[in-house]
Structure 1
Amino acid sequence: MTSPLPAIAGLADLAGRYDAVLSDVWGVVHNGVSAFPSAVEALVRYRQTGGSVVFITNAPRPSAPLIEMLDRLGVTRDAYDAMVSSGDATRVMIGKYAGRPIHHIGPPTEDDALYEGLNVRRTGADEAQVVVVTDLDSDDDTPEMYRERAKLWLARKLPMICANPDRVVEHGDKIIYCGGALGDLYAAMGGMVLMAGKPYQPIYEEAFRLAELAAGKPLDKARVLAIGDSVRTDATGAAQFGLDLLFVTGSIHAAELDAFGKPDPQTIADLIAPSRATVAGFLPRLNW
């Protein structure tokens, strides 16, 4: 059995140990509808102490439109130095299909920025050479609803590029499925699935590079803190890249962990343990 984890009052308890933070966004800084004011304040104050903050997100769009979205949600730009998204990393994969047909799964126009300048042509699955998944077509969809469509992709041996490795995300007071859940279904059926976002190395390497640029000096991984709410992506990614983790319990795992009631540190430790993450602490919502 793993050792119980330390509950902390806020980021201030850890700030002196770390020169930079790589923070998840959705579920940590906002819930898809509005910003969490305490989280924004915590990151602003951390930067005021001299720390650098890079947002690292599995959102399936390039950073520029995501920054505009954060503005609308109330995440002020003084809360972070830079951002890298799964969309940024995924564009490299999609670029290999320049001039060729691709089949898009996800909101029909919301993710247009993902393809800008890549010279790919969206078609039906019967013509495409690859399936690109940003999210499910609707927030009410479940992965199982795509099984029949996936049989065609599999029959044609189409690889899948999954621009959002997250399985679920908090949206207001609901938990909705993300592209990663469809990627899991396709992989279980025998399909080839490619991902570049968390927990995979490319997105962490770019986030670390941006953190060093913001800090103006080389950084020691032992002094860089990852913040996230997902065991599968944030905890696993932090462990594989060699970063400590601050775990936010009050998002996608809130119900099972009784995050806003009487959370049991041992239960939280057991949940995170398979990731092998080194956990600096946990709290229900990021705050200072």
Structure 2
Amino acid sequence: MTQIVSSLAEISTSYRALFVDLWGCVHNGVQAFPEAVSALQTYRANGGIVVLVTNSPKPRAGVATQLVQFGVPEDAYDTIATSGDSARSAMFRGAVGTNVYFMGEWDRDAGFFEPLHILEDPVEITRVPLQEAEGIVCCGPFDPMADPDVNRADFLYAKQKGLKLLCANPDIVVDRGETREWCAGALARLYTEMGGESLFFGKPHPPIYDLARRRLSSLGVDIGDGEILAIGDGIHTDIAGGMGEGIDSLFISGGLAAAETKTATDPDAAALSAYLDEEKSNPTYTIGQLR
């Protein structure tokens, strides 16, 4: 059974590094959570390493810029691993062909198509209409408020052509302030349910954890999985990913599951237990909000 804690400091001395989710954990898509920022700053001041592990489709440079806008200071983390970086690497290796149909908000997601110079001989990617595509690159819905079913006709066509869908963000939903929005993961889930093939690179899937470990190693440290704590509010992403990787986890119950766990400041123990039983999940620890 998960252990309910009131602060990161209660358990942080057991871990040399944190894999920390962003949205719903460190910020709400509009502004930073001051207590979360303070907790990470204190952890780093005591010698810990913070790797931000996010399902954002943005490259890490884009996420770093966004964090400044949200008020997350640079001294709250050491490095960033994004689903976007992991998925971009696959795209430029030709995972879904060279002529791709793009789904998302171009003004927001254009950075996904910036050249990836770390690869040797990357393929050249061209955005084309669906009828000319060899595959689909999905960074998100065209309209995050629209039901994913609006894409059913296009997905039926794509499935019949045998197109693979590269999902740059496996999150199903996210809360931007007080508004819940659909993410790319909801579209990929629909496509998979319809019989199409979706490729996933963010949490809870292994590629992003491999990237996070490489980013950690690039800092010149040798830290085993038993010394890493995964933190986040996504029971199907952050916690499932941590459990799948054999990494201890801290569930933020006041994020996406605030209503189900009856979390105000702290979760209701009975509601939390019922929720975790229903989701068949067992995070090592649970806290209302990162603090």
Structure 1-normalised TM-score? 0.93
2:249 aligns with: 245
CA contact (8 A) 2:225 2:247 kept: yes
Residue-pair matches, total: 283
CA contact (8 A) 1:167 1:181 kept: yes
In structure 2, relative to structure 1, the CA distance for the partners of 1:269 and 1:222 (3 Å cut) is farther
1:78 aligns with: 75
2:157 aligns with: 152
2:201 to 192, 196, 203: 196
Moved over 6 A (4+): none
CA contact (8 A) 1:227 1:234 kept: yes
- Structure 1 residue 213 displacement after superposition: 3.7
CA contact (8 A) 2:250 2:283 kept: yes
CA distance in 1, matches of 2:72, 2:93: 34
- Structure 1 residue 229 displacement after superposition: 0.5
CA distance in 2, matches of 1:86, 1:67: 14
2:173 to 168, 174, 177: 168
SS in 2 for 1:22: strand
Identity of aligned residues (%): 35
Equivalent AA in structure 2 for residue 13 of structure 1: E
Cα-Cα RMSD? 1.8
- Structure 1 residue 274 displacement after superposition: 7.4
2:64 aligns with: 67
CA distance in 2, matches of 1:230, 1:107: 23
Equivalent AA in structure 2 for residue 115 of structure 1: F
2:31 to 31, 34, 44: 34
CA distance in 2, matches of 1:262, 1:200: 29
CA distance in 1, matches of 2:59, 2:87: 9
1:48 to 45, 48, 53: 45
What are the superposed Cα offsets for residues 175-206 of structure 1, whole Å, 9 maximum, x if unpaired? Answer: 11100001110000000000111111111122
Within-5 A mapping of 1:1-288: 3=1, 5-97=2-94, 100-117=98-115, 119-214=124-219, 216-260=220-264, 263-272=267-276, 279-287=283-291
SS in 1 for 2:64: helix
- Structure 1 residue 99 displacement after superposition: 7.9
SS in 2 for 1:237: helix
CA distance in 1, matches of 2:153, 2:280: 36
More relative contact order in 1 or in 2 (CA 8 Å, sep 6+)?
1
SS in 2 for 1:279: coil
CA distance in 1, matches of 2:159, 2:284: 42
CA distance in 2, matches of 1:92, 1:130: 15
CA contact (8 A) 2:231 2:252 kept: yes
CA contact (8 A) 1:244 1:278 kept: no
Structure 2-normalised TM-score? 0.92
What are the superposed Cα offsets for residues 122-143 of structure 1, whole Å, 9 maximum, x if unpaired? Answer: 1111000001110111221221
